[in-house]
Amino acid sequence: MKLNEHLKDTDEGIAEIILLVADRAREIKKAFLTHNFNSGTKNMFGEEQLELDKWADKLLIDSLRNSDLVRAVASEEQSEIVEIVKSKGEFGVVLDPLDGVSSVATNLSVGTIAGIFNEGNVLEKGNKMDAALYVLYGPLTTLVYSAKDGVHEFVLDHDNEFILRKENVTLPEGNIYSPGGLPINYVNEHRQFISQLESEGYKLRYSGSFAADFQQILTYGGVFSYPALKEKPNGKLRLLFEANPMSFIIEQAGGKASNGTQRILDIAPTAIDHRVPLYIGGNKPIDLVESFFRGEGI
């Protein structure tokens, strides 16, 4: 089944935005051959932007701007919310155009992440999100979406069509752990958590590309973490563009996402670049880490 057929019972505007991102993803996939070098400029987080980041960001924002569906876009590559004043549309879209970009140089998988709000306000709690998706550019190009009706995975085929690969994906119980951050900078609660996972035989798999590491957890089960660190008390990942869309998807797949003390989707963003410590995966490891943060241990 093609993606557009699968979306036929989804809200029309949400379906159109998902299809628009899917269309742009086809172009981004091709651009890895042609746009992979440094642009020499930095984004608001002081990170160097590859030409591909900037290009993918512009491609997606221009497309959303021209869709007449979207009122506001918040992108990881933009320092301010992009207001589309002339749009008749009411949707808000949050976007990480190219997540895990340092993995482009090493030919590991990278992704495009998006979240959709039907009320146009992008500086919003994740629990107000209406749909989320990510595209993973790996050996296969896959698209995973949820519009509050389960989680569904599609794969780009020889005819450049996204075809259903797995319907109603649920998170298995598994023992992969994917720990971001340097151990020397761990806070105590996180150190205890990681030690406990290791003593339970969890297996480490970490690529440095969130979308890819997330896909691994969704497939095999376990937990991804990018914790609060001694030098980075808010962690690294961004609430709007990374944590919220993926937390929306993990909950739809039967899992959980937390900052250690609070459900990610209940956190009110205070700024476009709001960062959060992130634990995302199965119920068991997320309950475990929260118990360490409550000072209860196991």
Give the helix/strand (H/E) hosting 114.
Answer: strand 110-117
- Which of 120, 150, 172, 208 touches ligand AHM by CB under 6 A? 208
State the minimum distance, in angstroms, from the CB of residue 84 to ligand AHM. Answer: 23
Residue whose C-alpha is closest to residue 179's, from 166, 165, 195: 195
State the minimum distance, in angstroms, from the CB of residue 159 to ligand AHM. Answer: 30
User: What is the Cα–Cα distance from 132 to 136, expressed in whole angstroms?
Assistant: 14
Residue whose C-alpha is closest to residue 47's, from 248, 230, 211, 275: 275
Which of 84-92, 94-102, 158-166, 227-235 is the region at the interface with ligand AHM (rule: CB under 6 A)? 94-102
Contact map string, positions 92 to 131, toward Mg ion, x by CB under 5 A? ----x--x--------------------------------
264 contacts 244 by C-beta, under 8 angstroms: yes
Is 180 one of the binding residues for ligand AHM (CB under 6 A)? yes
Q: Considering beta carbons, is residue 47 or 198 the nearer one to ligand AHM?
A: 47
Is 247 one of the binding residues for ligand AHM (CB under 6 A)? no
Task: Name the residue with tokens 């690969």.
Answer: 165
Is 226 one of the binding residues for ligand AHM (CB under 6 A)? yes
Residue 282: CB atoms within 10 A of its CB come to 23
Is 104 one of the binding residues for ligand AHM (CB under 6 A)? no
Residue whose C-alpha is closest to residue 102's, from 178, 232, 208: 208
**Exposed/middle/buried for 32, CB within 10 Å: 0-12, 13-18, 19+?**
middle
Is 57 one of the binding residues for ligand AHM (CB under 6 A)? no
Which tokens is 241 given?
Answer: 């563009």
Residues in contact with Mg ion by CB under 5 A are 96, 99
Residues in contact with ligand AHM by CB under 6 A are 47, 76, 96, 99-101, 180, 208-210, 226, 236
